[in-house]
Structure 1
Amino acid sequence: MLRSSLVDVAVAAVATAVLALLVPAVHAEIRTTPVVSDPRPIVFFEQFGFARGGKATLSISLASWRIRPDSPLKTVDASLMGFVLISGAQFPSINNQTEYADADPGGGTRFCVLTSGHALPVLRLNDVPPGGAASTVTVDEPGEYAVVFSNCQDGVEVTMDVRTEMYNVRGPDGARDYLPVGLQPLPAIYACVSAVYAAFLAAWAWACARRRDAAERIHAVMGALLLFKTLKTACAAEDAWFVERIGTPHGWDVAFYVFGFFKGVLLFTVIVLIGTGWSFLKPYLQERDKSVLMIVIPLQVIENLVLVVIGETGPTGRDWVVWNQVFLLVDVICCCAIFFPIIWSIRSLREASKTDGKAARNLHKLTLFKRFYVVVVGYLYFTRIIVSAFLAVLSYRYKWGVNVAVEAASFAFYLFVFYNFQPVERNPYLYICEEEETAAEGLEMDNGAF
């Protein structure tokens, strides 16, 4: 049972890594977590990258426990329940100890994480008086550590309030830095990203105003997307800045979720509207196009609500891994749904190129939408899969590099979309007047690509 619990902890760690790519907001490193009638042998609380001399403080209050009716235990040994710090490098060693204990037929007592030499003990429940207790541990070996509660007694449910406070000490004055090693550059990174998108938004507004006659309704929607992207990254910078200094986001996490919600909805809406050719190929949406929007937008609402639940409950919640799986499933469905309008536009453009006598113009439109399709696939594949694989092998000291990679890919995607669909009177992709013979030859070579 303990081995399966360690697997659950590993799954939670992987889910945390994947979610960190999709949720760049920084969670507070000072957190109070209620645990209510929890019988799990392993409970994963927090993960933090420590420098040498970093400190972890755990405060426990209102601690109580009871034996479940179906348990063979008669009494509870509180010394077999407590908190430890486990380095990421030590998880394989602890797992090996667990396997060895399970394989030993004469082992008698099962393996307990609290007694492992690979775990750094913090506080046991037998040392907690009725009024509560706190313990501070100094980390001598730098690394990424997980705060884990271990209950080595089957059938015992634990209830308590746990306050975790983890930080690194910097400077001669001993100032506390609540950002883990590897995420300390985030305030500057997000501030720069926000400034870049603010300049992007100003340039887009100037381009739309200068070419007002060529501007369509889709360009206003695209401008709103840039606005919320700018606000979201600005809130992420403030969130990280406050967490770094005082350990709490000071309300900036709420603004981050709000602006992130609108940004997520608008991003998928813009992709769907461009994919259907709305404002470029036709001034209206067909019923199937509306159906895609009616699927994508509610799914984005659900995804952002699940995002808030995941971010606010943390990995301690019993259903945290399930919520992560729901989040990833909804995200995958959204990513798949937005491909259909693009494919429909590509097919209709190919058919129009063959029948309506405007092969040259439609062929160049077809080329644009095929490029758009490839870029959307590449963007989603990179930000959902490639970067998560990169994070799995990256040292904890350089996790900020993943955030930079995601933001760079996002900016490149935005730049491609906004450049190719900018308001231009004679857009080279949408208003081409080439010879029909040349277009026909190109169409013949292109035939069968989709």
Structure 2
Amino acid sequence: MAIDKGYVFTSVKLLFVLLFVESQCRLHHLVLKDDVRQRVHLNTFGFYKNGYMSVQMDRLSLNGVPIEDIDSSTIGFSLDRTSSNGFSTYLDDGLDYCVLKKVPSSDFAVVLLLLDFKYNQVRMKTSADEGMFPHIIPVLPKSEKDGEEKQQEKPQSGDVAKSRRDVTENKADVTFPLQNKDKVFSFQFYFNVTTDTQQGLYNFYFHNCYSSMAINQDASSLSTLTFSLEIHIEEKNPESFLSAGEIPLPKLYICMSGFFFSIGTIWVHVLRTRSSDVYKIHWLMAALPFTKSLSLIFHAIDYYYISNQGYPIEGWAVVYYITHLLKGALLFITIALIGTGWAFVKHILSDKDKKIFMIVIPLQVLANVAYIIIESTEEGSSEYGLWMEILFLVDLLCCGAILFPVVWSIRHLQEASATDGKAAINLAQLKLFRHYYVMIVCYIYFTRIIAILIKVIVPFQWKWLYQLLDELATLTFFVLTGHKFRPASYNPYLLLSVEDEEDMEMDDV
């Protein structure tokens, strides 16, 4: 018991430490130290017309290789535009070599920003036709030698935009200064989406081509190039800091919260009107839609503040993470309990059933911890990809684990229907358990595969359809499960439970 309490205390403590990790959300601040990755995904954002993106690279330092040995196409950034996640990007066209080493193709809307450390310049390359890609406008720092006032803060600064735009309209290489202070480099730029044709999903990457260009060289003579980077990114649509496909989410979550609250209220009414046929599992099922409703409300509030100010209010974010954790754990525990037949078919869980819960509950805690870390971590950080893989793997393991109790119950009922005198009731239960198994498989398949495929295929401004379909699938699953296991005297599950109680009373006599 002491070990269990210590485990619970440690888990709760870890959870709250993770909850209070500061998240910059749409006002990004990424710090990388001694990184060796060839490609770093800094951000993906969907822009409407009049949206803007501002990038401020405060510090970039390179170690392990002399600056003189790094040419102008080794370190840099790429910015490309697609209509959705499912369409090929500029990076997909050249996975066998570094994209900075090739001339941008006219088939893609892309801009390369190459850092030339020898001449302290940023060279810009693009093959996009005029007007198809936003003009990249450099922002120069204030200098004592230059009396001209330079605007740095807001991308809407019209005077600076005009003065820089005349230079950047040429499709040939365009250069602007790269600040160098004791081999620590910095520069700033921004762009405005000014036309409908420039709308789209923009992917921003940092590239380190030194390791990829050295593949054909003698391995014994190679050195490892590490880089340290600090960068600020601000992106905003005309009336929201949310990406184009996320702008409808606050209203969507509020509406779905109302639906879940409604079915929870209806379920409680059913339990009160048929109190004689109600079991403990029914009240556990009643808590699920209300917990889901609260989680959606807090999620909507979280997105509302992100939409208005670019980052969440810490208190609301913490409350959302807590309700999300409770909802996830309660969902899988309820599905597993129903699958074991607890309170319907049997009143005591077997050792085999208990082992399932010993697996599912820790996995659910780990999955929710991974989700919280992902939500509060920048995409470009080295641990982001690791936690994404952990979340995907653990979620699949949880989905697979909750199917075992249903399969065991089906086998148990098949054997029971052939050995005892309650074949009709057992066969009716067997039919319902098979239906429930199909329901779980369809729910998992749709929310984990079909909905994600839709998210990849649809245009960037319709990405919210993924969340809509996911919530509708969950709502449908809740309604069907409640209908199958509703308290009623003619329910085959309850019939067997009543018969078993009568047999136990006769045995006692």
Same fold (TM over 0.5): yes
Find the counterpart in structure 2 of residue 337 from structure 1.
Answer: 401
Q: State the Cα deviation string for residues 180-232 of structure 1 (Å, max 9, x = none).
A: 11222111110000111111222222222232222211122212222221111
**Matching of residue 137 in structure 1 with residue 170 in structure 2:** no
Give the CA deviation at 1:422.
2.0
1:51 to partner: Cα distance: 0.9
CA distance in 1, matches of 2:267, 2:409: 26
2:456 is aligned with what amino acid?
Answer: A
**1:359–1:125 distance in 2 versus 1, CA, 3 Å:** farther
Matches within 5 A, 1:355-434: 355-427=419-491, 430-431=494-495
Aligned: 1:322 with 2:383? no
Aligned counterparts of 1:72 and 1:118: Cα–Cα separation in 2: 31
Residue 117 (structure 1) aligns with: 126
How far is the alpha carbon of 1:280 from its aligned partner? 0.3
Matched position secondary structure for 1:213: helix
Aligned runs of 1:240-389 on 2, under 5 Å?
Answer: 240-251=303-314, 252-389=316-453
Q: Distance in 2 between matches of 1:215 and 1:269?
A: 19
Judged with a 3 Å threshold, the aligned counterparts in structure 2 of structure 1 residues 429 and 94 are, in CA distance, closer, same or farther, namely closer
The equivalent residue for 1:5 is none
Task: Check 1:211–1:183 CA distance in 2 against 1; reply closer, same or farther (3 A cut).
Answer: same
The answer for the alignment partner of 1:196 in structure 2 is: 259
In structure 2, distance between residues paired with 1:403 and 1:343:
30
CA distance in 1, matches of 2:177, 2:71: 9
Match for 1:52: what amino acid?
K
Give me the whole-angstrom Cα distance separating, in 1, the residues matched to 2:98 and 2:232: 32
Taking only aligned residues, the RMSD between alpha carbons, in angstroms, comes to 2.9
Please tell me whether residue 162 in structure 1 is matched to residue 231 in structure 2.
yes
Comparing 289-298 with 220-229, which one deviates more in the overlay? 220-229
Larger radius of gyration: 2
- Alignment pair present for 1:212 and 2:208: no
Amino acid at match of 2:28: R
Q: What's the offset of the Cα at 1:405? A: 0.9
Cα shift readout 1:122-151 (whole Å, capped 9, x = no counterpart): 768924777966432112400000122234
How has the CA–CA distance of structure 1 residues 275 and 387 changed in structure 2, closer, same or farther, with 3 Å as cutoff?
A: same
Amino acid in the other structure paired with 2:236:
Y
Cα distance in 1, alignment partners of residues 73 and 310 from structure 2: 31
**Structure 1 equivalent of residue 162 of structure 2:** none
- Report the 3-state secondary structure (helix = DSSP H, G, I; strand = E; otherwise coil) of the residue aligned with 2:242: coil
The one of 29, 43, 63 aligned to 1:67: 63
Cα deviation, residue 39, structure 1: 3.1
Establish whether residue 52 from structure 1 lines up as the match of residue 46 from structure 2.
no
d(CA) in 2 for partners of 1:33, 1:72: 25
Say which SS state the counterpart of residue 221 (structure 1) adopts: helix
CA contact (8 A) 1:144 1:396 kept: yes
State the shift of 1:152 in Å: 4.6
> Is 1:186–2:240 an aligned residue pair?
no
Please give the alpha-carbon distance, in whole angstroms, between the structure 2 residues aligned to 1:64 and 1:213: 70
* 1:149 alignment counterpart: 206
- CA distance in structure 2 between the partners assigned to 1:350 and 1:27 by the alignment: 55
Amino acid aligned to 1:400: W
Deviation at 1:98, TM superposition (A): 7.0
Q: Alpha-carbon deviation of 1:326?
A: 1.7
Gaps of 5+ in 1: 1-25, 103-108, 170-175, 433-450
Aligned-partner residue type, residue 348 of structure 2 = Y
Contact 2:43 2:379 in 1 (8 A): yes
What amino acid is aligned across from residue 202 of structure 1 in structure 2?
Answer: T
CA distance in 2, matches of 1:35, 1:336: 37
Change (3 A) 1:245 1:78: farther
* Distance 1:428-1:125 versus aligned 2 partners, 3 A rule: farther
**Per-residue deviation, 1:266:** 0.9
Cα distance in 2 for residues equivalent to 1:99 and 1:297? 42
Single out whichever of 181-190 and 408-417 deviates more from structure 2: 181-190
After superposition, the C-alpha distances for 1:245-275 in whole angstroms (9 at most, x for unaligned) are 1111212332222111111111111111000
CA distance in structure 2 between the aligned counterparts of 1:152 and 1:350, rounded to whole angstroms: 62
TM-score (norm 2): 0.71
Match of 2:34 in 1: 37
Q: Does 1:87 find its partner at 2:54?
A: no
Q: Deviation of residue 76 (structure 1)?
A: 5.7
Residue-by-residue CA offset, 1:388-436 (whole Å, 9 max, x unaligned): 122221111211111111111111000011121122233255438xxxx
The alignment partner of 2:45 has SS state of strand
The residue that corresponds to 1:239 in the other structure is 302
Structure 2 gaps of 5+ residues are 1-22, 104-111, 114-123, 139-175, 212-223, 497-509
| In structure 1, distance between residues paired with 2:236 and 2:191 | 11
Q: Distance in 1 between matches of 2:91 and 2:25?
A: 28
Aligned residue type for 2:235:
M
Q: Is the 8 A contact 1:79 1:125 kept in 2?
A: no
